[in-house]
Amino acid sequence: MGQYVMAVQELQNLLTNLVLESLDINPSSMQKQIEEGMHVLAVNSYPFSAEPNLTSGVAPHTDHGLLTILLQSYPGLQIKNSDDTWVNTPFNERALIVLLGDQMEVLSNGIYKSVIHQAISSDHNRISIANVNSFALEEKIRPAPFLVNEERESFYEECSFKDFLDFLSSSDYKQKIRFIDTLKKNVVKGQV
């Protein structure tokens, strides 16, 4: 497991750098924040259910970090597409799934969107291993300065992972409002 985590973190750094480069952000300008950031590994077990339609997996959500890499042992991940319908992700036991998170949506000023996803129950035991990277607990993230100008205003308030954790205990979370939605500004020229 230790070797897997080290390999996934190396892959995560490479993919994060590629996404940053696609935004014309020099990855070395954010290297310190990424290196000092958080790397969370979550192992989830979804036991066999004789009636999968009557049990739940994980409710719809987005991950707060920059990027999540997911390994799953059996199908069960769904993503919400642009027309608001749920789609089963293709399953390949040798493949990893990469999801962008809320921090990447904020950093890109809405150019990239965090992926709404859920885990559904199935008729097989299922394990998923999610590796999430984010900035450090109190490190504020905001839209990259050069992605904000007269033609494209800032669409998001700055936030930190700690702000996200505080949100989880708030009434907004209990009302099923996504954290990223609380960060969106009401911008007249364009809505995200």
Whose CA is closest to 42, among 171, 165, 129?
Answer: 129
- 101-112 pLDDT per residue, tens: 999 999 999 999
pLDDT tens-place string over residues 68-86: 999 999 999 999 999 999 9
Q: Is the pLDDT of residue 172 over 90?
A: no
pLDDT at 168: 86
Task: Name the band, by pLDDT with cuts 50, 70 and 90, for residue 4.
Answer: very high
Look at the chain and count its residues.
192
| C-beta neighbour count of 97 within 10 angstroms | 19
Q: How many C-beta atoms lie closer than 10 Å to residue 117's C-beta? A: 21
Backbone angles phi, psi at 180, to 5 degrees: -60, -35
What pLDDT score does 122 carry? 77
What is the predicted pLDDT for the residue at 57?
75
Indicate if the pLDDT at residue 189 is higher than 50.
no
Distances (CA, A) of 30 to 20, 35, 135, 178: 9, 9, 10, 26
**CATH architecture of the region 2-136:** Sandwich (2.60)
Domain positions in the chain are: 2-136
Q: How far apart are CA 78 and CA 80, in angstroms?
A: 7
Q: Distances in Å between the alpha carbon of 21 and those of 15, 18, 36, 118, 120?
A: 10, 5, 20, 29, 34
Strand partners, 38: 134
Query: What rounded mean pLDDT belongs to the chain?
Result: 89
Q: What is the pLDDT of residue 171?
A: 74
Q: In the predicted model, what is the mean pLDDT of residues 50-59? A: 70
What percent of the chain lies above the pLDDT cut of 90? 69
Is the pLDDT at 170 greater than 70? The verdict is yes
Q: What is the pLDDT of residues 124-158, one digit of tens each?
A: 888 999 999 999 999 999 999 999 988 889 999 99
